[in-house]
Amino acid sequence: MDDTIRQEAKTAFDPVELDQELGHPWRPAGTSRPQNRMIRLAKSWVWPPARRRATSVRPTAYLDGLRGFAALIVYFHHHELWVHERLKQNAIFENAWGYEGNYYLASFPGIRIFFTGGHYAVSTFFVLSGYVLSIKPLQLIDADDMVALGDHLASAFFRRWLRLFLPLMIVMFLYATSWHIFGPPTDGATPQGSWRSEMWTLYAEFKNFSFLYRDGGIPWLSYSMHLWSIPVEMKGSMVIYASALAFSRSTVTARLWCQLALIGYFLYITDGWYCAMFVAGMLLGDLDRLAKSDRQPRLLSQLRPFKTFIFYHLFAVSLYLGGIPCENREVEQLARNRGWYYLSYLKPQAVFDYKWFYLFWAAIFLVSSVAHIRWLKRFFETRFCQYLGRVSYALYLVHGPVLWTVGDRLYQSIGLTAQDQDSALPWAKKMALPRAGPLGLEASLLMAQILLLPVTMCLADLGTRAFDTPSVQFAQWLYRRTLPNEREKRSKA
């Protein structure tokens, strides 16, 4: 009897058996003293626990990686233009290779994406959002489960505003508060006389910025102009949810035609380019899902033997269109850029800012081609890109404040500064570094990134765990709190 108990106890606490039972390596529990728990908690914020490599990759994991890499492109875009605006060189970046005799690697087609591909990345965000947000509704529509579709859309509608704007509000609160704690001026900021006045100004701006149906006013927060795309993301999400509901009773063929009609309306009849991007993402997701069940349109089925050839060319076209010259909104200047004269005639009358028309095509070609180019898909499924995808929203939120505080001071100290800043700050050019190297890859700029990029990524990681993920969980919790319990359901019945 005792031998049996001892044998069972040995088996129950055998690490090998526990590994098999738990599905991950067993580790002994640490001490439960309060001070040790606090130490472990503090350590987890500074150095998060390592994640085990997944044994299998989700079918749509590459989309997360693509989103994360696009967020990194936005980071580099803003740093490149911030530095070179002060050096009076932005026109080189924002025009095509060879414009006015400027032949630089940073403006060469395709390569320019890594220097000034921020708008290309944002367009990719919108197409990806349309794709991802429509996956579940389209699955439920195909299953003819209208009750579950209604439940899903109700939950999605309820949670979307909180998911987008609550993390933004927290970051802006901390950023504005830092002006009154640390004191030194921040690039582009005009602090109020007191913290209380600052909070009122921030509140007044935020309530208008986050209102979906506002009419007029500037389309961004003065506290972080980079975040103009968040209300656009909110509007596009509403278009996806409404479209899914509107097409829920339609046939597959009718639904595809309606999506194409919406894209044409938003792109060629009215200036709704961002809505066109979201609906295009929905269309791509619909077509991918139909292809997996061998129900795609006949024309696309006939092209299947040539898909590798087609998608490689779409990817190349995407990289070219993604580098659209956009120093201003004048299409006449676009026509003066080498390689864009004939393309400039394609701009629809309805689109006010011409770059978004070309970026629409660039983004949908990119998202559609990644899944069919094996090496590219594998790259976005790597741990590096998956990590970027996990912290992408926090990275998007915090990279601006880091640039305007730490970046502003560091760039000035190493000599990357405008002439009117020399006398404003005493540390300007105190550690001047050489500007040797290709445009956009100057030694001083790269040396600054040794500090700025890790700081930004650390804050993005902290932000993801401190307010991004909790915001998602809070929105879910709040929605569940509004639902009736079982007793209330029975009483209504």
33 pLDDT higher than 80 = no
> How large is the average pLDDT for residues 190-211?
92
What is the structure's pLDDT at 277? Answer: 98
> How large is the average pLDDT for residues 135-155?
96
Confidence of residue 14 (pLDDT cuts 50, 70, 90): very low
Q: If you average pLDDT over each of 94-108, 203-217, 260-274, 323-337, which comes out highest?
A: 260-274
Domain ranges across the chain: 73-205+221-482
Q: Which residues of 389-402 are buried (b: 16+ CB within 10 A; e: fewer)?
A: bbbbbbbbbbbbbb
100 pLDDT higher than 90 = no
pLDDT tens digits, 279-319: 999 999 999 999 988 888 988 888 899 999 999 999 999 99
CB 311 within 8 A of CB 368: yes
What is the structure's pLDDT at 235? Answer: 96
In the predicted model, what is the mean pLDDT of the chain? 87
27 pLDDT higher than 60 = no
pLDDT tens digits, 395-415: 999 999 999 999 988 998 888
171 pLDDT higher than 50 = yes
What is the structure's pLDDT at 260? Answer: 97
20 pLDDT higher than 90 = no
- In angstroms, the CA 212 to CA 368 distance is 29
419 pLDDT higher than 80 = no
For 367-388, the DSSP string reads: HHHHTT-HHHHHHHTSHHHHHH
Kindly report the three-state secondary structure assignment for every residue of 384-438: HHHHHHHCHHHHHHHHHHHHHHHHHHHHHHCCCCCHHHCCCCCCCCCCCCCCCCC
> How large is the average pLDDT for residues 410-435?
75
Tell me which residue has tokens 């066109």: 276
366 burial type by CB count under 10 A (0-12 exposed, 13-18 middle, 19+ buried) = buried
What is the structure's pLDDT at 133? Answer: 96
What is the structure's pLDDT at 51? Answer: 53
CB 401 within 8 A of CB 221: no
What is the structure's pLDDT at 26? Answer: 43
Strand partners, 224: 221
Q: What is the pTM of this model?
A: 0.87
What is the structure's pLDDT at 12? Answer: 37
Percent of the chain residues past pLDDT 90, beyond the cut: 69
What is the structure's pLDDT at 432? Answer: 80
429 pLDDT higher than 70 = yes
Confidence of residue 216 (pLDDT cuts 50, 70, 90): confident
